[in-house]
Amino acid sequence: MTDKTVTVTTPIDRYGVMGDPVSHSRSPVIHRLFALHTQQSLQYELLPVPPEKLEIAVRQFQRTGGKGLNITVPHKTEVLRLVDQMSERAVTAGAVNTLSFKGGEIYGDNTDGIGLLRDLVVNLNISVEDANILILGAGGATRGIIAPLLEMQPKSLMIANRSLGKAEALAVHFSRLGPVSACRFNAVPVSTPYDLIINATSAGVKGEAPPYPIDAISDTTYCYDLSYGLSPTPFSVWAREAGARQSVMGWGMLVEQAAESFNLWRGVRPDTAPVLKQMSIPA
């Protein structure tokens, strides 16, 4: 009789981020560090997917046993039509940045807002309550951050966008939650200085520079760029040169929103501080 040992290997749980462009994303590094720190076994891939291939790519990932995806520029609203169930915060946002595949169904959630809030309030100690806030951009990321910002009861929230119609649509959509209005970049009201300016355009990623409203900045203004880089982003350079009190890139939000996604997928919330430290992120 021969002694045969059969080894059954369980396939490693697969996750990834889909976007276009996505090569700049640091999400794989962050999720690998979370996995290491929480002793979870998983794989996380960068998945460049153009808009016309989004549905095919998501369905294929699901069919081949993928467990979860992060969805980034420019797919956060388009992906809604592929989702079977959504969290309340994703419904409110009308945008999804996290998909979980369970029992043949696709669950959509949005962790951008909580990620930004954690970075602003917990990590950076920036007060949002009673603040005058200006958001530049009206895309998927803006959709995710408006409701959590309004929950903190700011004095006002202005959305400025290149395409006015998109900013106006968001102002109408969120008006039941607080004082939101909309304008074009060149019509930002500046009679009262802004306490917080958030850049949520993707202009920097594409090497473009929108006409940021210089008169909206004073020496008491915090500037936060959702975009991030190993060297200062065009917006953060502009904000510093315009005399902002502090100019911060979105590394903290990136790590915090990733921690929320990781928690949804794995049922364990990783500690973000050591990951932020380990990534040697520039200020």
- Name which of 102 and 206 has its Cβ closer to ligand NDP: 206
Task: Tell me which residue has its CB nearest to ligand NDP.
Answer: 139
CB of residue 140 to ligand NDP, shortest distance in Å: 4
CB of residue 238 to ligand NDP, shortest distance in Å: 13
Q: Could you say whether residue 34 binds ligand NDP (CB under 6 A)? A: no
Q: Could you say whether residue 247 binds ligand NDP (CB under 6 A)? A: no
CB of residue 153 to ligand NDP, shortest distance in Å: 23
Omega prior to 74 cis, within 30 of 0: yes
Full 3-state SS string of the chain: CCCCCCCCCCCCEEEEEEECCCCCCCHHHHHHHHHHHCCCCEEEEEEECCHHHHHHHHHHHHHCCCCEEEECCCCCCHHHHHCCEECHHHHHHCCCCEEEEECCEEEEECCHHHHHHHHHHHHCCCCCCCCEEEEECCCHHHHHHHHHHHHCCCCEEEEECCCHHHHHHHHHHHHHHCCEEEECHHHCCCCCCCCEEEECCCCCCCCCCCCCCHHHCCCCCEEEECCCCCCCCHHHHHHHHCCCCEEEECHHHHHHHHHHHHHHHHCCCCCCHHHHHHCCCCC
| Piece of the chain touching ligand NDP by CB under 6 A; list 7-15, 58-66, 236-244, 248-256 | 248-256
**At 164, phi and psi to the nearest 5?**
-60, -40
Which of 73, 121, 264, 279 binds ligand NDP (CB under 6 A)? It is 73
Q: Could you say whether residue 244 binds ligand NDP (CB under 6 A)? A: no
String marking each residue 102-131 x if it binds ligand NDP according to CB under 6 A: ----------x--x----------------
Q: What is the per-residue burial (b if ≥16 Cβ within 10 Å, else e) of 173-191?
A: bbeeebbbebbebeebbee
**Is 102 a known active-site residue?**
no
- Name which of 221 and 257 has its Cβ closer to ligand NDP: 257
> Pick the catalytic residue: 76, 102, 166, 277?
76
Binders of ligand NDP among 190-229, rule CB under 6 A? 200-203, 205-206, 208, 210, 226-228
Query: What is the size of the binding site for ligand NDP (CB under 6 A)?
Result: 30
Distance CA 272, CA 253 (A): 10
- Name which of 160 and 191 has its Cβ closer to ligand NDP: 160
CB of residue 283 to ligand NDP, shortest distance in Å: 15
Q: Could you say whether residue 140 binds ligand NDP (CB under 6 A)? A: yes
- Name which of 61 and 228 has its Cβ closer to ligand NDP: 228
Which positions are catalytic? 76
Binding footprint of ligand NDP on the chain (CB under 6 A):
73-74, 76, 112, 115, 137-142, 161-163, 166, 200-203, 205-206, 208, 210, 226-228, 250, 253-254, 257
